[in-house]
Amino acid sequence: MAERERLESLAVPDAAAAEERAWAVVSDAYAHRRPRRRRSRAAIIAPLVVLVVAAAVAAAVAATPQGATVATWIERTLGISKPVPRSSIGPLPAGGRLLVTSRGGAFVVASDGSRTRLGDYTGATWSPHGLFIGAWRGRRLSAVAPDGRVAWSYLARGRVRAMTWSPDGYRIAYLSGPRLAVVAGDGSGARLLDARPQAVAPAWRPTEPHTLAWVASDGRVVVRDVDGGRLVWRSAGSVGGATELLWSADGRRLLAVAPHVLRVLDVHGNRVWRLPAGPGRRVRAAAWAPVGHRVAVVLDEHSGLGTVVVTDRLKPGLPGRRIFRTTGRLGPVSWSPDARTVLVGWGDADGWLFLRASGGGRPAAVAPLSHRFGGRPAVRGWCCAR
């Protein structure tokens, strides 16, 4: 009774939101539970209410000293498993460095967890081998060293919306206003590629350093050699609704990510196939592994759960290994340089999750993060150790 009285006397912060998050988990679990014998409606509802309230209390007070004991008791009693939070960012589980943006600017997070603020940039991307960062704000795009030193800057014709570095470092493609253009790696010789592309960041083909893919105004994917202008490939149909283009490491497949469907474009074999997210699901983010054909996909589910799936079988139904599921929204997603760890943003917890790509084990969590970066951070890439 003492445990129950202490539990009932706790004032739960943000109780309504906590109860909503807990309800998604508990109701789903209860729906799949087979009772051993018939019971009255009251007998069924009463324990369920207790479970919901208990889970809500655990989620809401776990971060407080007096709530730690209660959270432990709830976790042990209900079998709830959650990531173990870490107070500091580093060291990163798989080494390397993170590129991060937030309202507070752009940052590089070293393997030991230390942070370097690069400047007041709204977007950023790694150059090959992590030698520089392509960063932008307004009309200005810059090449910035990991210590924050600006190597050069270029003023585009319109507001920069995306920027990406070619695999050899000698070309940079960027969206500026309604235009897609390319500039040399030293910031010189800007040239127009497409006057009216769709607002999807272009993607360089890994195996052909100066071959670029983008979504044209008609929704079709264009793959072109930016130096000579040679058309390498064009999709027969539209990838309308796509928000990202992602090349596999071997340059054979291009993934067009849209909220309700993934389209796999086999440029080498001239084939395209669709992978619907499925009923009640929405694709939140996706990323190819740095080697091979594995893809990490983050899904929002109708029940309010966020799921991370890793698959190397890009077939209808998105078969693969589910490596994590929790309440709330997850994403974006990044792979570690050694392809063993997947980093996923956990917005509801203002944190990051480090998951084993093979599944199993308990994920590591870092939270809260906003106060470290002057706003909620988004990982823009997990780069090499250098």
At 385, is the pLDDT very low, low, confident or very high (cuts 50, 70, 90)? low
Both 280 and 316 in one domain: the answer is yes
Distance CA 294, CA 310 (A): 7
For residue 207, the domain's CATH number is 2.130.10.10
Quote helix, strand, coil % in the chain, to nearest 5.
Answer: 20, 40, 40
Both 97 and 65 in one domain: the answer is no
Both 13 and 157 in one domain: the answer is no
Both 54 and 122 in one domain: the answer is no
Both 206 and 326 in one domain: the answer is yes
Q: What is the pTM of this model?
A: 0.77
At 15, is the pLDDT very low, low, confident or very high (cuts 50, 70, 90)? very low
CB atoms within 10 A of CB 140: 14
Total domains in the fold of the chain: 2
Which residue range forms the structural domain that includes residue 213?
85-383
Work out the average pLDDT over 190-212: 97
Last residue of a domain, one of 80, 100, 126: 80
Question: Which tens digits make up the pLDDT trace of 104-140?
Answer: 999 999 999 999 999 999 999 999 999 999 999 999 9
3-state secondary structure of 141: strand
| Per-residue pLDDT, 316 | 55
| Per-residue pLDDT, 318 | 58
Which of the two residues, 155 and 61, has the higher pLDDT score? 155
Pair 291, 339: CB distance under 8 Å: yes
pLDDT surpassing 80 at residue 50: no
Last residue of a domain, one of 80, 109, 142: 80
Which two three-digit tokens encode residue 6?
């202490």
Work out the average pLDDT over 253-268: 94
Question: Which tens digits make up the pLDDT trace of 216-255?
Answer: 999 999 999 999 999 999 999 999 899 999 999 999 999 9
Distance CA 300, CA 285 (A): 10
Both 38 and 139 in one domain: the answer is no
Both 12 and 155 in one domain: the answer is no
Work out the average pLDDT over 92-115: 94
3-state secondary structure of 383: strand
Both 76 and 93 in one domain: the answer is no
Pair 359, 377: CB distance under 8 Å: no
Both 33 and 109 in one domain: the answer is no
Distance CA 298, CA 287 (A): 9
Both 113 and 165 in one domain: the answer is yes
| Per-residue pLDDT, 351 | 94
Of 16, 82, 90, 83, the closest CA to residue 53 belongs to 16
Pair 227, 211: CB distance under 8 Å: no
String of DSSP letters for 345-369 = EEGGGTEEEEEETT--S--EEE---
Pair 300, 348: CB distance under 8 Å: no
Q: Which residue shows structure tokens 């084993």?
A: 356
At 192, is the pLDDT very low, low, confident or very high (cuts 50, 70, 90)? very high
At 278, is the pLDDT very low, low, confident or very high (cuts 50, 70, 90)? confident
Both 74 and 144 in one domain: the answer is no
Which of the two residues, 62 and 286, has the higher pLDDT score? 286
String of DSSP letters for 273-321 = EEEE--TTEEEEEEEE-SSTT-EEEEEEETTSEEEEEEES---TT--SE
At 83, is the pLDDT very low, low, confident or very high (cuts 50, 70, 90)? low
Which two three-digit tokens encode residue 252?
């054979």
Both 23 and 150 in one domain: the answer is no
Which of the two residues, 3 and 344, has the higher pLDDT score? 344
pLDDT surpassing 50 at residue 36: no
Q: Which residue shows structure tokens 């389209």?
A: 263
Work out the average pLDDT over 41-69: 38
Of 255, 263, 305, 253, the closest CA to residue 282 belongs to 305
| Per-residue pLDDT, 227 | 96
| Per-residue pLDDT, 362 | 86
Last residue of a domain, one of 80, 98, 114: 80
| Per-residue pLDDT, 79 | 38
Which of the two residues, 121 and 9, has the higher pLDDT score? 121
pLDDT surpassing 50 at residue 21: no
pLDDT surpassing 80 at residue 26: no
Q: Which of 164-168, 309-313, 348-352 has the lowest mean pLDDT?
A: 309-313
